[in-house]
Amino acid sequence: MNDTDTLIEQLAARAQPVKRLASPLRRTLIWVALAMTLIVVMVVAHGPRAGWWQDLSVPGAAIEWIASVLTGALAAYAVFQISVPGRSPSWAWLPLPAAVLWLGGIGLGCLRDFAQQGAAAFAFEGASWECAGAITLTSVPLGLMLLLMVRHAGVVRPGPTAMLTALSAAALSAAGVSLIHQGENALMVLLWHAGAVLVLSSTSWLFGRQLFSWIGYARQ
Amino acid sequence: MMAKVVTFPRASATDTLDSTQAMIDGDSVADPRDGDHWSHLMLLAQDGDRAAYHALLQGITPYLRSITRRYLGRGEDAEDGLQEVLMVMHRIRHTYERGRPFKPWLNTIASRRCIDLLRRRAHRLKHEIENVGEIDDAPQVAHGPDEAVSRQQSTGRLQHAVAALPERQREAIRLLRLNELSLTEAAEECDQSVGSLKVACHRALKSLRRTLERKGTVHE
């Protein structure tokens, strides 16, 4: 009996019943519900900004906000798809249209501000960095929660899974933070909101293997 | 310690599944490479049917070997790769979903593992080349048949010393040093806690050092 035969005997001897994965849709709904609960608690605890409801009643702003939530939800669905061996990696592109709509909406906001205020619309507001901080702080626990749910992806597609995980967590966090912070021009929203999402996602892509290795499901 | 090797029953929960049972009994009524049969065996294995799992592992081994050979060549690396693929598959067998094709699931796991191993091999080669560069720069001493014989003897002594270790310690060395698993992975593979695995590895190294020093083969 060679080593492989011995290994097969040993593995078969340890074939305990395992719990199969739920469908990607079901797991997405569970995670989005958990994430939204956490974000709602955060918004309620902090107190929403004055006039948030009126702002969201403007179609452009509403589309932009819904697009950010949609980016988060679709990125989570993509995570639950590509993290399973044998499922198509093309699912990774799923959140792209929503992300384009979201970031495009912010970009249009910049142009609208410029048309109304001129050069003042591009004034740098250093204090707005708090948005990026809040998005990051909210994204970390949300992202870790999602990573744990797809920890098996460490041996399949660690980089793209970690990137989409961060995108999902950050996009939902940005939607929550936009209900709290106020007084920023669109450029600052683009810089700090989209910037935070971009930095978190690309960092997760680069260190995906290490992240899963830290969880215990991939080798560095 | 690895799980105890058991003899697999010839009959089990597969009573209602004639074709599957036939495969387990060794009377192959269908192409053993048939993904549908493997899928069926995997579903049974997920429910804890050890005989089905054993049959599955034996059935997929030649198929996996052809994949690992394609990536890693026909040497020992391919067999090591095959064992690694089997271990990874065992670990994430819960990710196989009912109703989905089995082969793409298995292929993804195998190819990802092989790519990781190739990456590791490239890293090791690079490291070795750097070391060779350092050795070339160092003053030259004793190159020749005598040294080759001496090295061969040292290797033999090391192998004997490892073989003489208690089983737990030998297992720790095999998983952590030879298979280069992380502590978490190795602990899961051999059903030990991380702490006891660390202790076993530490004791094994201490014991090896003592044995080899006694035989005068440690050169520091």
Are B207 and B149 members of one domain?
Answer: yes
d(CA A1, nearest CA chain B) in Å: 12
pLDDT surpasses 70 at B144: no
Q: Give the whole-angstrom CA distance, residue B119 versus residue B125.
A: 10
- B168 and B102 share a domain? no
Task: Tell whether B94 and B156 lie within a shared domain.
Answer: no
Q: Which range marks the domain in which residue B195 is found? A: 142-214
- Tens of pLDDT, residues B67-101: 999 998 887 888 989 999 999 999 999 999 998 99
Higher pLDDT, A125 or A33: A33
Query: How much is the pLDDT for B42?
Result: 94
pLDDT of A212 higher than 90: no
- Note the pLDDT of residue B126: 76
Residues B107 and B32 occupy one common structural domain: yes
Q: Supply the CATH number for residue B99's domain.
A: 1.10.1740.10
Average pLDDT value for chain B: 74
Residue B126 lies in a domain: no
- B146 and B110, same domain (yes or no): no
B137: number of Cβ within 10 Å: 7
Q: B39 exposed, middle or buried (CB, 10 Å; 0-12, 13-18, 19+)?
A: buried
* Counted domains in chain B: 2
Task: Report whether B165 contacts B207 (CB < 8 A).
Answer: yes
Q: What is the mean pLDDT of residues A109-120?
A: 79
Q: What is the pLDDT of residues A51-102, one digit of tens each?
A: 777 777 778 888 989 999 999 999 999 999 999 999 999 999 999 999 999 9
CB pairs under 8 A between A and B: 111
Examine the domain organization and report whether B82 and B165 are in the same domain. Answer: no
* B33 and B110 together in one domain: yes
Q: Is B92 in contact with A152 (Cβ distance < 8 A)?
A: yes
Taking only the tens place, the pLDDT of each residue in B15-38 is 334 444 444 433 333 454 568 889
DSSP A22-57: PPHHHHHHHHHHHHHHHHHHHHHHH-PPTTHHHHHT
SS3 A161: helix
Q: List the domain boundaries for chain A.
A: 34-41+52-215
Residue pLDDT, tens place only, A3-58: 889 999 999 998 899 999 999 999 999 999 999 999 999 889 888 887 777 777 77
Q: Of A3, A14, A156, which has the smallest distance from its Cβ to B83's Cβ?
A: A3
pLDDT at B207 over 90: no
Q: Answer yes or no: is the ipTM higher than 0.90.
A: no
B217, pLDDT greater than 50: no
How long a stretch of residues is chain B?
220
CB contact under 8 A, B182 and A219: yes
CATH no. for residue B166? 1.10.10.10
> Is B111 domain-assigned?
yes
Predicted confidence (pLDDT) per residue in B111-129, tens digit: 999 998 888 888 877 776 6
Segment B37-54 mean pLDDT: 93
On the question of pLDDT at B209 being above 50, the answer is: yes
Binary contact (A15, B97; C-beta < 8 A): no
Separation CA B161–CA B216 (nearest Å): 13
Please report, as a single letter, which amino acid is at residue B56.
Answer: L
* Percentage of the residues of chain B whose pLDDT score is greater than 90: 29
User: pLDDT band at A155, cuts 50/70/90?
Assistant: confident
Residues 31 through 90 of chain B touching chain A, CB cutoff 8 Å: 45-51, 53-54, 57-58, 61, 79, 82-83, 86-88, 90
| pLDDT beyond 70 at A218 | no
Best residue in A1, A25, A156, A220 to probe B by mutation, most B CBs within 10 Å? A156
Q: Is pLDDT at B8 greater than 60 in this prediction?
A: no
